[in-house]
Structure 1
Amino acid sequence: MNVWSEPQSDSLFADVDGLRVHYKRAGHGPTVVLLHGSASSLHHFQGVAGLLSASYDVIRPDLPGWGLTGPRADRDYRVPTYAATVARFLDVLGVRRCAVVGNSLGGNIAWNLALDRAERVSALVLVNALGYPEKSVPAGLKLARNPLLRPVLRRAMPRRVIERNLRSAVGPHSDIVDEAMVERSYQLMGRPGNRSAFIDFVNTDQPDRSAEIARIAVPTLVLRSASINAQHFARDIPDAQELIHPDGGHLLPEEDPQWVARAITHFLDAHSNSTQSRHGDRT
């Protein structure tokens, strides 16, 4: 059995904002950064990263509060703070500009980065991203917001709760939630401080920046599962493209990594060719 809660042979670490950010990096070419969602880790994009690394320099960090990076000492889990930390993480790695892909919370962080640091983002891919006011809250988040349960969940997160939340996040035809996936999530949630970070994140008042989404000025691809509603990125971001997966759930990069990787590759290749066409060949 894998020990998910320990560094692996390809684990790397960067000191950022007092955090020891865990990340993995593979491949050569233009840089693509992959940002996972809440209560997840860099493993969420493993299949997509493996496919993209044939043509791209692929970087995937464990975001603060999750995975092997662990909790922030200041307990600041606001999305703009995440975006600022990602920008400084890229500074540490010497990455001046890159494409940014984000799923769920990672998508929210990605478009906030595109708003605040547009010069750092060459292209934006939002996969079932968040950022509009919530109309419904998943059952797992409701539990974590219950003032009576919060102290209990900081001490222990039952494995069955984690499995139930994973199953509720995938499409009806998905079979990806197996013993290994549940064990991985359970081990990483059990790392010191991660349960409390999850509770802190869920109970953080996030600023509503949805009115600013129309100001995003970088080339954008929106990937959405047909079952995911209340996403208006393709409508609100000028010239955004949208592709809709007919069967996927919220965890689309794990449910169909080939579809996601293929869509990202086609979009980035087309954007690169368009840029070269506008500027001409330079030697």
Structure 2
Amino acid sequence: MSVWSEPQSGSLFADVDGLRVHYKRAGHGPTVVLLHGSASSLHHFEGVAALLSASYDVIRPDLPGWGLTGARADRNYRVPTYAATVARFLEVLGVRSCAVVGNSLGGNIAWNLALDRPERVSALVLVNATGYPEKSLPAAMRLGRNPLVRPLLRRAMPRRMIERNLRAAVGPDPGISEEKMAQMVERSYQLMGRPGNRSAFVDFVNTDQPDRSAEIARIAAPTLVLRSASIDGQHFARDIPAAQELVHPGGGHLLPEEDAQWVGGSIAAFLDSHSTSTQPHQGGRQ
């Protein structure tokens, strides 16, 4: 049995939109949902979840197309569709309202959820989130759009390609040891090898996403923006009314894995300051 590509201790599943969504849940208190980025999995927030679960009910799903949840039969990987699936996932779990944290694609999904289902989002944390049209694409995504390469990636995704992509995504001072990087590469390689996941990646990167950046100013949830100094092209702190922003000086795109202590501590301090809007009666576990 593979270490990463099979259910592990604490694995849970929920039936949502014809998908068997894999997730983990730990802790007690107000609910916090952690949404990972593209080509990733719930493991991305492992360290952050460990910190937050001391005071919060922390839920981490594998988003459709990734991890143990796997591909969508309808191949619909538009961000608003992801947001709708997350909303129904929360309904299945009986969570009426919660804080939503997202990194990269997960951040994009989080702010779309805050727009489409504001009653579900009591607070919003965007970690190097995406959603503005000027955001540049990683090399692996550009390859996935190449009509000559696409069929090859559906059949195989070389380990060296995954490693190059991960190394390019961390910052100049990532705080990631070679041992941890090797673990990240192995985890991503195994999960991408699960049936349907490679094709889901290709389908995702070739999906035309709607540009909703003009609507971002309508977000009403209290918002914290966590950004690496090396990340530009995103303007959430400028556009979301009263948003707070913290900038990590040395991190890259994968901040939750690069510096889980900084990310987790920043989230906890922000949520503690908005505790009246993230109380357990709105869906958390006592």
Say yes or no: TM over 0.5.
yes
Residue 18 of structure 2 corresponds to residue 15 of structure 1: no
SS at match of 1:178: helix
**Alignment partner, residue 200 of structure 1:** 203
- Listed one character per residue, the Cα deviations across residues 45-79 of structure 1 (whole Å, up to 9, x for unaligned) are 00000000000000000000000000000000000
Shift of 1:3: 1.4
SS at match of 1:23: strand
Identity of aligned residues (%): 85
**Aligned ranges 1:141-160 → 2 under 5 Å:** 141-160=141-160
Aligned counterparts of 2:125 and 2:267: Cα–Cα separation in 1: 7
Query: 2:253 corresponds to which letter in structure 1?
Result: H
**Alignment partner, residue 283 of structure 2:** none
> Using a 3 Å threshold, how does the CA distance of structure 1 residues 53 and 135 change in structure 2: closer, same or farther?
closer
**Alignment partner, residue 227 of structure 1:** 230
Question: If the length of structure 2 is used for normalisation, what is the TM-score?
Answer: 0.94
Listed as ranges, the gaps of 5+ residues in structure 1 are 277-283
Shift of 1:137: 2.0
Shift of 1:139: 1.1
**Aligned ranges 1:256-267 → 2 under 5 Å:** 256-267=259-270
Query: 1:205 corresponds to which letter in structure 2?
Result: D
Aligned counterparts of 2:151 and 2:31: Cα–Cα separation in 1: 41
Aligned counterparts of 2:135 and 2:88: Cα–Cα separation in 1: 32
How many residues align structurally? 276
Shift of 1:136: 2.4
Aligned counterparts of 1:142 and 1:124: Cα–Cα separation in 2: 29
Aligned counterparts of 1:228 and 1:136: Cα–Cα separation in 2: 10
Question: If the length of structure 1 is used for normalisation, what is the TM-score?
Answer: 0.95
> Using a 3 Å threshold, how does the CA distance of structure 1 residues 6 and 230 change in structure 2: closer, same or farther?
same
Aligned counterparts of 2:90 and 2:136: Cα–Cα separation in 1: 33
Aligned counterparts of 1:135 and 1:59: Cα–Cα separation in 2: 28
Structure 1 runs, 4 residues or longer, greater than 3 Å off: 273-276
SS at match of 2:274: helix
Aligned counterparts of 2:230 and 2:182: Cα–Cα separation in 1: 25
Aligned counterparts of 1:275 and 1:60: Cα–Cα separation in 2: 17
**Aligned ranges 1:94-109 → 2 under 5 Å:** 94-109=94-109
SS at match of 1:242: strand
**Alignment partner, residue 249 of structure 1:** 252
- Listed one character per residue, the Cα deviations across residues 4-57 of structure 1 (whole Å, up to 9, x for unaligned) are 000001100000000000000000000000000000000000000000000000
Question: Contact 2:98/2:278 (CA < 8 Å) preserved in 1?
Answer: no
**Aligned ranges 1:80-159 → 2 under 5 Å:** 80-159=80-159
**Alignment partner, residue 41 of structure 1:** 41
Question: Contact 2:31/2:278 (CA < 8 Å) preserved in 1?
Answer: no
CA RMSD, Structure 1 to Structure 2 (Å): 1.4
Query: 1:226 corresponds to which letter in structure 2?
Result: A
Aligned counterparts of 2:46 and 2:2: Cα–Cα separation in 1: 15
Shift of 1:94: 0.3
Query: 2:149 corresponds to which letter in structure 1?
Result: L
